[in-house]
Amino acid sequence: MPSEPQDKTTRLTIPSDAHQVRLALCTLFDALATGPLPPDTRDTAQIVLAEALNNIVEHAYGTERGEIEVTLHTSATGLHCQIADFGRPMPGGILPEGRLSLPHLMADLPEGGFGWHLIRSLSQDLRYRYEGGCNRLEFRIESQQSAL
How many CB atoms sit inside 10 A of residue 114's CB?
Answer: 13
Q: Number of residues in contact with another protein, rule: CB under 8 A?
A: 34
Work out whether 35 is an interface residue with another protein (CB under 8 A): no
Question: Of residues 87-146, which lie at the interface with another protein (CB under 8 A)?
Answer: 100, 102, 106-107, 109-115, 117-118, 121-122
Say how far apart CA 113 and CA 94 lie, in whole Å: 16
* Residue among 23, 137, 28, 45 nearest 87 (CA): 137
- Alpha helices (H) in 33-138, listed in sequence order: 39-55, 115-122
Span of 1-9, 38-46, 86-94, 132-140 interacting with another protein by CB under 8 A? 38-46
Among another protein, ligand ADP, none, residue 56 binds (CB under 5-8 Å by kind): ligand ADP
Residue 25 vs 60, nearer CB to ligand ADP? 60
Question: By the 8 A CB rule, do 9 and 82 touch?
Answer: no
Residues that bind ligand ADP (CB under 6 A): 55-56, 58-60, 88, 90-91, 96, 98, 112-113, 115-116
